[in-house]
Amino acid sequence: MLYKLSFNKTQEGLLRVSASVGRKAERAIAIYENDEVFLRLVHHAGLVQEVVESLEKAVEIAVSPARTPSCCEEIDITDVQLTFLRLGEARRLYA
């Protein structure tokens, strides 16, 4: 399924990732201690290399010194992979 992931840093320096499908208002939000926590999950989620690289780049842009407010990436992943990234449950999830 095609998900749109967006990334940004909270004021506390945590990485916030949200996932949404299409134009639905429903989305899952996870807050990670830092970008490395999320990227470790990405590397173990069984994603194709092209998706891994695009997520790495999107996270890098979101946490760069310029602090891009939000960086989005549309990726095709399964619900199982989404859950592995801690984005498959509820509307809010703190990992």
Q: How far apart are the first and last CA of the chain?
A: 23
- Number of separate domains in the chain: 1
Residue 90 has pLDDT above 50, yes or no: no
- Res 23: pLDDT: 64
5-63 residue pLDDT tens: 989 888 888 899 988 876 655 678 889 988 999 999 999 999 999 999 999 999 988 88
What per-residue confidence (pLDDT) applies to 24? 59
Q: Would you say 83 and 10 are in contact if contact means Cβ atoms under 8 Å apart?
A: no
If one compares 42 and 92, the residue with the highest pLDDT of the two is 42
Q: Which helix (H) or strand (E) holds 59?
A: helix 49-63
Looking at residue 56, its pLDDT comes to 93
Split at pLDDT 50, 70, 90, the class of 69 is low
Contacts for 37 with CB less than 8 Å, ≥ 6 apart: 15, 95
Q: What is the 3-state secondary structure (H, E, C) of 62-94?
A: HHCCCCCCCEEEEEECCHHHHHHCCCCCCCEEE
pTM: 0.80
**Which residue range(s) make up the domain with 72?**
2-94
